[in-house]
């Protein structure tokens, strides 16, 4: 049986903007050049950055990790949200995120991002192949 992992996150756009204004280089630490270019090309970059930040947090949760782990913030760059035709977001993992996904047998990733008013939210669903002992009948002796 396939395994499903889900993560969700909600981000206050105003809170995100405060952090962005106080910490020079924040977006460079968290977002890839592709993500920054996308967000900065929009009328309200902060809401798009907040949505992608929520997607990264949701992916971390789906992978079964805690975002508060020491030194973890620098790894956000290993999770990238790219636009696909029609604007549909697509997750790409590299580095530690790709290694964690491989360990969990992830074969498919989906992400959905929404923003309304002062909030941005994202949900991530990861589909994995069964592990060596999962989804199989125990051996009989």
pLDDT at 112: 97
pLDDT at 62: 94
pLDDT at 38: 93
DSSP string, the chain: --EEEEEEEEEEHHHHHHHHHHSTTHHHHHS-HHHHHHHHTSSSHHHHHHHHHHHHHHHHHHTT--TTSTT-GGGGGGEEEEE-GGG-EEEEE-HHHHHHHHHTTEEEEEEEEEEETTEEEEEEEEEE---SSTTSPPPP-
Q: How far is Cα 83 from Cα 12, in angstroms, rounded to an integer?
A: 22
User: What is the CATH superfamily name and number for domain 3-128?
Assistant: 4'-phosphopantetheinyl transferase domain (3.90.470.20)
Per-residue pLDDT of the chain (141 residues; tens, 9 = 90+): 899 999 999 999 999 999 999 998 889 989 999 999 999 999 999 999 999 999 999 999 999 876 555 455 557 889 999 988 777 999 999 998 999 999 999 999 999 999 998 999 999 999 998 865 444 444 444
Domain edges within the chain: 3-128
pLDDT at 130: 83
pTM for the predicted model, two decimal places: 0.86
Residue written as token pair 């992916």: 59
């Amino acid at each position: 049986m396939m395994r499903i992992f889900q993560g969700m996150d909600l981000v206050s756009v105003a809170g995100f903007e405060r952090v962005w204004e106080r910490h020079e280089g924040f977006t460079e630490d968290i977002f890839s050049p592709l993500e920054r270019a996308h967000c900065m090309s929009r009328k309200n970059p902060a809401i798009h950055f907040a949505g992608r930040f929520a997607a990264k947090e949701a992916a971390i949760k789906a992978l079964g990790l805690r975002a508060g782990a020491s030194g973890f913030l620098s790894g956000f760059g290993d999770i990238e949200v790219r636009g696909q035709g029609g604007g549909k977001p697509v997750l790409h993992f590299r580095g530690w995120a790709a290694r964690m996904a491989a360990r969990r047998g992830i074969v498919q990733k989906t992400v959905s991002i929404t923003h309304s008013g002062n909030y941005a939210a994202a949900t991530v669903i990861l589909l994995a192949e069964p592990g060596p002992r999962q989804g199989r009948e125990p051996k009989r002796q």
